[in-house]
Structure 1
Amino acid sequence: MPRFPRPLRWLLLGAVTLVLLGAAVTGIVLYSVSSRLPDVQSLRNIELQEPMYVYAGDGRLMGLFGEMRRYPVDIKDVPLQVKQAFLAAEDARFYEHHGVDFKGVARAVWLLATTDDKRVPGGSTITQQVARQFFLSSEYSYTRKLAEMLLAMKMERELGKDEILGLYLNKSFFGNRAYGVAAAAEFYYGKKLAELSLDEAATLAGIPKFPSSGNPLNNPERARIRRDNYILPRMAELGFVSRAQADAARAVPMHASPHERTIEVYAPYVAEMVRQEMVARFGGDVLNKGYHVTTTIDPALQAAADKAIVDGMRVYDHRHGWRKPTQQVQIPAGADAAAIGKLLRNVPAQAGLLPAVVTGSGDGALQVVLADGSELSLRGAAISWTGKAAAALAARGDVVRVRRVDAEAAGAEPNWVLDQIPRAQATLVSLDADNGALRALVGGYSYAGSKFNRATQARRQPGSSFKPFLYAAAFERGFNPASIVLDAPVVFKDRRGHMWRPQNDSGNFAGPMRLREALVQSRNLVSVRLLDAIGVDYARRYISHFGFDEANLPPNLSMSLGSASLTPLSVARGYTAFANGGFLVTPWFIDHVRDAEGREVFREKPPTACPQCAVTTPAGQSQSVTGAAATKVDGFDFGPAGTQAGATAPKPGTTPQAAKPAAEAKPVDPSMVVAPRAIDPRVAWQLQSMMRDVVRRGTATDAKVLGREDVGGKTGSTNDHRDAWFSGFGGQYVTTVWVGRDDYRSLGYREYGGKAALPIWIGYMKVALKDQPERLPDPPAGMVEVRSNGAVEWLKVEDEERMRNELDVAPEEDAQPAEEAFDIF
C-alpha cells in the first residue's frame, strides 16, 4: 500500500484534529446549553395570564380587568379549519418534524450566506416559537437560536403535538391587548372560535407574524395581503381547502372591528371597588391570574338605582332651566355630516346623553349632528322643556347633549330630545339591613364623566339625617319618644366669646314638644338642647357604636345639626342598626372568589344581625353563637340578655304591660357569625317607629306613594342647601341617597332633602320593595305601652318606672342653658 506523501499526511492529520476539536467544542457547547434548559414539564401546569372577571350576584358579567385579553381554550375545542390556517401560516410540517424543521433551517442558512440580511424568514417551527415565548428572550443570537432548537426537540420528546399547538394558540400575541386566538376572535370579530369563517380564520392566522403593524385594525391592507397572497393560497396548496373556497374567502372584504366583551350588568363604580379590594387582598398581579369574583350586587336593583339617579337628576336639573353650552368645536368650511361627527370622537356619552354638534337653528328647530354622522332636527316637544326658542338655545359649533326616548313616550314628535348634563351629582347606596351586603351602589351621575366614587370617598355633612343617631344616644341616657323638650331660641358662647344662635329651617319655634314630634318635624333647636343635656363627649362615644370613627364626630354642639363629614356608605351602615334591631353590620360586596381553575379561594362569612341569638358583644367585634349575653357593654345598656323580637303588642288603650321575654333563644346555624350589638333593641324599635312617622306625616310624606307601613327614614339638608339627603329603610333594605355639587356650591333655593334626594330614593325603593313582604317587628322584650303627654308610646320598662316615680332626667322645659364655654366652632 503506497504511503501518502508527508505533506498530505500532515494535512490529513490536521483535518482530523480540527474535526475532533470541532466535535469536542460542539459537544461542550451542546452540553453547556442543554444543561441549562428549563424543565418543559412545567408547561403542563403553566398559568397563562388572564384578566380578572367580576360578576353580579346572579353570575352575569359586571367588569373585566387586566392589561391583556386572554381566554384560554382547550385545543380540542379549536375548530380544525382554525388549526389548519395557523399551520399553513407558520409551520405546515408541524405534525411531521421533531421540533426542528431542518429544511427550513437549511433555507435560512442559505439566505444568511447569500444576502446581507441579519434576520431571515424560515427555520422557526411552532415548537420553537413556543420555546421562545415561554422560556427564552427575544435576543437575536446564535446561542439563543441553538438553545431554542435544543429546547424544541426536548419539548417534542416530552409533550404531545396537540399540547404544543394549544400552548402556541393560547400564548401568541394578536395585537390590541389580545393574547390567544380565542381573545383575538372575540376582539376582532365578536365571535367564538367555532363561529369564524374561513376568511376570518386566515386573517387571524396572519396576525402573530406582525401583531402590531399587521393586524386588521391598525393596517387592514397589510393584513389583507398576507391573507390573500400567502395564507389562503397555502391552505389550498396543502389541501386544507379547495381552490374555490380559497378564492371565495379572498373575495371577502376586510371587516374586522373592535369588540369588547359585553358587560351585562352596568355597575362601574362597584367594579372598580372590587378591583381595588382584590389588589389589596391578593396583591398587584391579581388582575392577570384569571380570578372570577362574584359580588353581592343584585342586577335588578342596580339597574333601578342607575335609573333613579338619572331620572331624579334630570328632574332636578330641569327645575333650574337651560344653560348655555360651554363646549364648542370649530366646524371646517364645507364639512359634511360625517366630518362634523368625527369632531366628537373624544367626547364620551354620559348617562345616556350623547354629544351632538349644533349646525344651525333655522325654521324653529335646532339642527345637530351626532358622532356617527346622523343628523337630527330638534323642535317642539324635543326642546319645549327649556322654555326657549331654538335660536336662543345654542349657536353653530356648540356641543350639546341629546337623549333618545321611547317612541310611545315621544308620540308624533321626534324620538330624540335636547338635554344637558346636570351640574349636581348624586349617589345611592343600598344595603341588606341584616348582614350589610351591598345590593346596589351608584357613585355619581356618570362614571364616564367622573370616576370619583362619592358613595365611598366623598365626605359630606349629613344635616338632619344625622339626628336619629343623636336621639338614640339620648334614649340611652333616659329620654324617650314622649319626653318634652323646648323648641325655643337658644344662644351659646364659645371660649373666645363668639355667639352661636342655631335656628330651625322654618325660622319659627313650637315651644315645648315631644321628641317624637321634634324628629318628625326635624326641629334643630330640640336637637341642640338634647345634645347639650346628654353631653357631647357621651354622645360621640355612643354614636361611634354605629360604625363611625369618633374622631370624625365634631366635639361640640354643632354635631346635633349633622356637621360631621361622613360618607354616604357610612351613613347607610349606621341606619342598618335601626332596621335590624340594633346590630352593627359591616358593608361587604365580594361574596366569593374562584381561581382560573374554578377552585374557591375565598368566601365571605358576614357578621349577621340575629335578635334571637341572645348575644351581645362590643361594637366593632363579632362572635359565633355561644353562651349568654352581657347586658352592659362599654358602659351602655344594650337591653336585657336574651331579648328578641316577636313579643305581641297589646292594643292601644289597654292596661300597660311589659312585652314578654322569650323563654329561650331560637336555634340558629352554629357556623353563623353574629354581628356585634350597636344599640339596645328597644331603642332601635323606638327610632324605627319615629322614622316611620317621618314618612306618615313629616318631612318625607312623598314616600307614602310606596303604600307600605314599614317604610321610614329621615331627610337631611345643610346650610345654603349644599347637601340634600334621605336615608331610610323598608323591607330588608336600608338605602341612602345624597345629592350635592362637587364644588360645594348651593343646589338652589329650597332644594331640601325631601325635594332633591327623596324622589331618587322613592324611585329606587319602588323596584326594591316590589313583591317584598312588609317588615314590622313587634316591640322587643323589656318594653311597656304607656299613655304619656297625651299620646300612646312604647317605652323601656325602666323609663316607665322612672316616669312613674317622677325621676325623669329630662331638663325642665323653662330651664335656660348655662353660658358655659362650649367649643362649638
Structure 2
Amino acid sequence: MKWFKRIIIALFSLALLGVGAIAAAYFYVLPDLPDVNTLKTVKLQTPLRVFSSDGKLISQFGEKRRIPVAFEDVPPLLIDAVLDTEDARFFEHHGIDPIGITRAAFILITTGKKSQGASTITQQVARGFFLSREKTYIRKIKEIFLAIKIEKALSKEQILELYLNRSFLGNRAYGVGAAAQVYYGKELDQLTLPEMAMIAGLPQAPSAANPIRNPSRAMNRRNWVLSRMLEKQSINKTQYTEASQTPITAKYHGAEINLYAPYISEMARDYLVDKLGEDEAYTGGYNIYTTIDSRLQVFAQEALRDNVFAYDERHGYRGPTKILWTETPLDNAVIITKLKQTRAFQGMVPVAVISIDEQSAQVLTPDGEELTIEWQGLNWARKYITNKRQSKAPKKADQILTPGEQVWIRNNGDIWQLSQVPKVSSAIVSLDPNNGAIRTLVGGFSFHTSQYNRVTQAKRQLGSNIKPFIYTAAIDKGYTLATLINNAPINKPDTRQGTAWRPKNSPDKYTGPTRLKMGLAQSINVMAVRAIRYATLDTAIETLIKFGFDPADLPKNESVALGSPSVTPLQVVTAFSVFANGGYKVEPFFIDRIEDAYGDIIEKSNPTLACAPPAAEVPEPAIEVDPFASMAQELAPAPISLEDPDNICGDSDSRFAPQIISEQTAFLITDALKSVIWGGGNWSKRTGWNGTAWRASRVVKRHDIAGKTGTTNESRDTWFSGFNPNLTTTVWVGFDDHGQELGRTSWNANGARDQISAAEAGAKTAGPAWNEFMKNALAGQPEVPSSPPEGIVSVRIDLATGKLSRKTDYTSKFEYFVSGTEPTEFATEAEESNNIFIEDSTEDLFQ
C-alpha cells in the first residue's frame, strides 16, 4: 500500500506538473498567438484571370496557381483520401489528436527523432496560415494552442475547406482544385480514384513524391494512400486492386487557356496593376471579363496571320535560318536536340532538310518525324532580292533548299509548306459601333516576337482612309453625292508647308468633272483636295477633331486631305463607327466587368450608347476620357439595336454618345463607301466602274458592307477600314521601321491566277485580311437592309452632270440627297450626250 500511495502521489504530482506546464506554456506564447477569427475572412492568394465576353479563359497572371473550391464541391472520395491519409480522426478530435501525440512521443523517446505524424489537419492549417515550418518545440506548442482556438472559431467543414485550398501540391499548384488542373487538366469532379489518391498523397512531399518529377516514388505514395483508404473501408478490395495497378498518367498542364489573345490580356493586366498595384492584382483572385468575342477573335487572328504570310511569301524566300551541317550529315538525335532549341510559334515548326528530290524535300521535325514537302508547298519560294524585286520562279527543289539547312514549315490547309518568319507587321481591331465594345484586337503578327501593341500604340500615316471625313466636311458645307468636282491637275499650290505642294492622282490620270461619290469610291486625290478647299482647311480639321483625332496630329495644310496625319488603328476604327451607327461618337472600351475572388462585381462598364436619349433627358456635355478606363460602377444596359423605331435607347442611368454628324450625312457617306466596294455604272453598256475595294464584293458577298482603302506615299502604310451596321473593323499593314516601303511584286509563274502583284496598296495589302475576317464574322447573319433616315430623298439624276434626268436608261440613276439639296434643274440634251464615264478601272488604279 505504501508503494501504491507513492505511485498515486507521483502520478498526481506529474499531472499537476503537466497542467502547470501547459498553463505556463499557454501564457508564455499567448502574446504571440494571432487572432484565428481572421480565418473567417481569409483571402487566399489567387491569380488574376482574364476572360472573353463569353467566358473563355484568355490568360492567367500570378505565381501561385490556385482554383478555390467550396467544401461541398469536393468529391467525397477525395475527402476520404485526404482524411484517411492525413487525419483519420479529424471529425472526432478537437484540434489535437491525443493518440497521435502519444505515438509521436513514443517514437521520439525510442528513436530520438522528431515525428511529424502528430499534426492534425487543424494543426496544419494553423501552421500554414500563422506559423513557419521550423521544427522547434515552441512552434509546436503554438501550433497546438492555435489548433484548439481554430476548432472553437470554425466548423470542421470550414477548416477542411481551408486545408484543401491552402496546401502546396507542387508545380506552383496550391489547393486540390489547382492540382487537378495542373496534373490532369481536369475539374475535381472529373478525377478518377487513382488520380484523387495521387493528389491526396502530395501534401507531405509535394516535390519528392511529385508524379511528374518522380513518378516511381509518386506511385508508391499513391498506393499507400489507397491502402489507407482500403483499411478505413473508404474503398473496397476491387477498387483498391484496380486503382493500384493503374499507371501514372499525370503530366504538366498549363493554365487552361481557351482563347489565346495575348495583346488584349496584357491590356487588361496593365489596367488592373495600375489600379490596384502588382501584389493585389496578382494575388487578389480578380476575374476580368473583357468585351472580346472569342469566335470573332479567332477569325481576326487567322485573317491577320494568313494575310501577313501571303504578303511575305509573294515578296520571296529569304533563305534558311541556320546551317546545321554542310557535308557530313548529323545523327538524327543530334539534329533533334538542335531543333528543340528553337520554339515553334504561329503554326510554324523548325525542321532540318535531310534530302532533296527533283520537286520535293524531306525534313526532320523536333519530334523525330520525317515529313515530305511536296512541290505545291515549295514552288512559291522564288528568291527575295528586295521588297521591290524577286527572282524568277523556281523549277526544282534544289533551287530553293539544300540538305543541312534549318528552315520553317507550316501546315497550310492539307499540305506542309515551306515558310519563314515575316518581317512585315500588321494590326486588326473591331468594335461594336452601337456602344464601342471592342470585339477583336490583334496588336501584331506574334506576341512571342513583339509585345508592341500596334492597335493602341502605333501612330501611322492614314493615307486615303481619311477621305470619308474630308467629304463629310464638304457635304455638311453644301456638297452632295452628285456634286461635280473637277478631276484635273491642281495648278494653284498650297504653300503652307514652305514649298509649293501640287498633289497628283495615282496614277497621274484625270477625267474632268466627276461626281463626288465616284471621286470617293475611286479615291481620286485632286478631288479630295478640292473638297477640302471648298469646306476650308479649318472646318476640315475641326471635323477630324470631332471624329476623335488628336489636334496635335493634324498638320495645318492641305496634305491632310490625302492622309498625312499619323493615327492609331483604334482611333480609325472608332471614327469609322460614326458612319456605321448614324453619326454618334462612341467611346471604345475593352473591359465589361471585374469580379473579386467571391464573384462580386467591383466594376462594371457603362458604355456610351449610339442613340438619342429619352425625350425627357438632356444629355450632358461630352467629356473626353481615356478609352481604356471608361468603366463606371453602375450596371450597363444590354446593347440596343439601331432598328429601334424611335432611335431611343437606355434610361436615366445610361450614358449617351454625342452625335457629331447628322444621321443624314452619315447615311450619305455610308452610301458612297458602299460604292468603294460595289462600284457603279453599267458594265453591259461599257460604263461600269470599280471602286478601289472591288475584291471585297467577291469575297464577303454582302450588300450591307461599306469601306475605304488607304495607302500612303511609297506604300509605307496600307489600310482598310469598313463596317456593317453591327461591326466596324480596321486593318493596318506596314513595317515597324517606317523607312521601309512595302514595295511591289512581279507576276509569279508558279502562282495562282488570282494572285496579287504590282505595287502594294490598301486594297491588296490590308484589304484581304479585312475581307476574310468580315466574311467569317458576318457568316450566317442576315443582311441589314439600308433604310434612308427621315430627311433623305431620292431623285433620278443624269450621271454626266448630276442634274435631274427624265431618262430611265443607263445614263441615269437614283441618287440620295438631304432634303432641300437635291438638284432642281434638268440636264439638257446636249449635256446628256456628253457623258463622262470611266469605262474600265484597273485594280491598281486607285489607292
TM-score by length of 2: 0.79
Closer, same or farther in 2 for the Cα pair 1:460/1:368, shift >3 Å?
A: same
SS in 2 for 1:385: coil
Bigger shift: 269-278 or 683-692? 269-278
Contact 1:438–1:588, Cα closer than 8 Å, also in 2: yes
Shift in Å at residue 666 of structure 1? 5.9
8 Å CA contact 2:286–2:596 kept in 1: the answer is: yes
Q: Is 1:54–2:50 an aligned residue pair?
A: yes
Following superposition, the deviation at residue 249 of structure 1 comes to 4.0
Alignment correspondent of 1:738: 732
Matched residue, 1:587: 588
Query: Quick check: 387-396 or 538-547, which moved more?
Result: 387-396
Match of 2:454 in 1: 454
Among 731, 750, 767, the alignment partner of 1:758 is: 767
Q: Which residue of 2 aligns with 1:718?
A: 712
Q: Structure 2: how far apart are the matches of 1:801 and 1:496?
A: 38
Pairwise CA distance, 1:247: 5.5
Task: Note the 1:374-523 alignment, pairs <5 A.
Answer: 374-386=369-381, 387-388=393-394, 389-406=396-413, 410=414, 415-481=415-481, 482=483, 484-485=485-486, 487-490=488-491, 492=493, 498-523=499-524
- The corresponding residue for 1:65 is 61
2:253 to 248, 259, 275: 259
Matched, 1:274 2:274: no
The reply to whether residue 135 of structure 1 matches residue 157 of structure 2 is no
Structure-1 separation of matches of 2:515 and 2:377: 51
Shift of 1:184: 0.6
Once residues 295 and 419 of structure 1 are traced to their aligned partners in structure 2, the CA distance between those partners, rounded to angstroms, is 34
Number of the residue aligned with 2:777: 768
Distance 2:323 2:568 in 1: 36
Deviations 1:635-679 (A, max 9, x none): xxxxxxxxx9999xxxxxxxxxxxxxx9x8868655443211122
Query: Residues 777-821 of structure 1: CA distance to partner in whole angstroms, max 9, x if unpaired?
Result: 3144277869597126544567669999xxxxxxxxxxxxxxxxx
- SS for the counterpart of 2:508 is coil
CA distance in 1, matches of 2:613, 2:785: 16
Aligned with residue 218 of structure 2, among 223, 236, 239 = 223
- CA, structure 1 residues 675+558, in 2 after alignment: closer, same or farther (shift >3 Å)? same
* 1:491-519 deviation per Cα after TM superposition (whole angstroms, max 9, x unaligned): 75758954444332212344444433332
| Residue of structure 2 equivalent to 1:655 | none
Per-residue deviation, 1:258: 1.2
Q: What is the CA–CA distance in structure 2 between the aligned matches of 1:265 and 1:78, rounded to whole Å?
A: 27
**Greater Cα offset, 19-28 or 569-578:** 19-28
Summarize deviations over 1:458-505 as a string: whole Å, max 9, x none: 221111101112222233344444153553144757589544443322
User: In the aligned structure 2, how far is the partner of 1:322 from the partner of 1:516?
Assistant: 41
Q: Is the contact between residue 430 and residue 733 of structure 1 (CA under 8 Å) also seen in structure 2?
A: yes
What is the rounded CA distance, in whole Å, between the counterparts of 2:461 and 2:489 in structure 1? Answer: 24
Tell me which residue corresponds to 2:666.
684
Indicate conservation of the 8 Å contact 2:435/2:587, yes or no.
yes
| Percentage of matched positions with identical amino acids | 41
Q: Distance in 1 between matches of 2:647 and 2:252?
A: 60
CA distance in 2, matches of 1:442, 1:671: 32
Q: How far apart are 1:363 and its partner, in Å?
A: 6.0
In 2: Cα distance, 1:311 partner to 1:100 partner: 64
Q: Secondary structure at the match of 1:168?
A: helix
SS across alignment from 2:418: strand
Q: How does 1:295-694 map to 2 (within 5 A)?
A: 295-327=290-322, 337=332, 340-362=335-357, 364-386=359-381, 387-388=393-394, 389-406=396-413, 410=414, 415-481=415-481, 482=483, 484-485=485-486, 487-490=488-491, 492=493, 498-532=499-533, 534-610=535-611, 619-620=622-623, 669-694=651-676
CA distance in 2, matches of 1:166, 1:70: 13
SS of the equivalent of 1:416 reads strand
The one-letter code matched in structure 1 to 2:265 is A
Distance 2:133 2:493 in 1: 76
Q: CA shift at 1:107, angstroms?
A: 5.1
Rounded to whole Å, the distance in 1 between the matches of 2:824 and 2:102 is 104
Q: Secondary structure at the match of 2:564?
A: coil
Change (3 A) 1:26 1:236: closer
Contact 1:613 1:666 in 2 (8 A): yes
Q: Does the residue aligned with 1:294 lie in a helix, a strand or coil? A: strand
Contact 1:357 1:368 in 2 (8 A): yes
Of the structure 1 ranges 589-598 and 729-738, higher mean CA displacement relative to structure 2 is found in 589-598
Worse overlay, 504-513 or 530-539: 530-539
2:546 aligned partner, one-letter code: H
- Residues 148 and 693 of structure 1, relative CA distance in 2, 3 Å threshold: same
How far apart are the structure 2 equivalents of 1:338 and 1:359? 13
Return 574-583 or 736-745, whichever deviates more: 736-745
Question: Within the alignment, does 1:31 sit opposite 2:31 as a pair?
Answer: no
The 1:514/1:153 distance shift into structure 2, 3 A limit, reads same
Tell me if structure 1 keeps the 8 A contact 2:613–2:651: no
Distance 1:571 1:586 in 2: 12
Q: Which has the higher mean CA deviation after the structures are superposed, 354-363 or 695-704?
A: 354-363
Mapped to 1, the partners of 2:552 and 2:825 lie a distance apart of 35
Q: Which amino acid aligns with 2:340?
A: R
Q: 1:619 to 1:700 in 2, by over 3 A?
A: farther
Return the offset for 1:609. Answer: 1.4
**Which residue identity does 1:419 align to in structure 2?**
S
Contact 1:430/1:438 (8 A) holds in 2: yes
> Given the superposition, is the C-alpha separation of residues 240 and 795 from structure 1 closer, same or farther in structure 2, using an over 3 Å criterion?
closer
Conserved in 1, the CA contact under 8 Å of 2:717 and 2:733?
yes
The answer as to whether partners of 1:428 and 1:736 remain within 8 angstroms in 2 is yes
Do structure 1's residue 101 and structure 2's residue 94 form an aligned pair? no
- 1:196 has 2:191 as partner: yes
Alignment deviations for residues 730-783 of structure 1 (CA, whole Å, 9 cap, x no partner): 232211111112233222211100111112111112223332332423144277
Distance in 2 separating the partners of 1:90 and 1:328: 57
User: Deviation string for 1:116-137 (max 9, x for gaps)?
Assistant: 87x6533322211111112223
Once the two structures are TM-superposed, the CA of residue 202 in structure 1 deviates from its matched residue by 2.9
Residue 839 of structure 2 aligns with which residue? none
1:339-386 residue CA offsets vs partner (Å, 9 max, x unmatched): 643434353333322332323325643222223222112223232333
2:173 — aligned with what?
178
Instruction: Kindly provide the amino acid, as one letter, of the partner of residue 772 in structure 1.
Output: P
Amino acid at match of 1:99: G
Q: CA RMSD in A?
A: 3.8
Change (3 A) 1:160 1:205: same
Q: TM-score of the superposition, structure 1-length normalised? A: 0.81
| More moved, 545-554 vs 25-34 | 25-34
* 1:575 shift after superposition: 0.4
- 2:80 is matched with which residue? 84
The CA distance in 2 between the partners of 1:270 and 1:424, in whole Å, is: 21
The more displaced of 740-749 and 310-319 is: 310-319
* 1:558 to 1:496, Cα distance in 2 relative to 1, 3 A: closer
Relative to structure 2, which stretch is displaced further, 720-729 or 52-61?
52-61
Retained in 1: the 8 A contact 2:496–2:556?
no
- Give the AA of the match of 2:659: R
> 1:519, 1:776 → 2: CA distance?
20
Contact in 2 for aligned 1:786/1:795 (Cα 8 Å): no
Distance in 2, Cα, partners of 1:255 & 1:129: 29
The aligned amino acid for 2:697 is K
- Which residue does the alignment assign to 1:294? 289
Change (3 A) 1:694 1:150: same
Greater Cα shift, 331-340 or 667-676: 331-340
Count of residue pairs brought into register by the alignment: 747
Q: Cα 1:747–1:459, aligned 2, differ >3 Å: closer, same or farther?
A: same
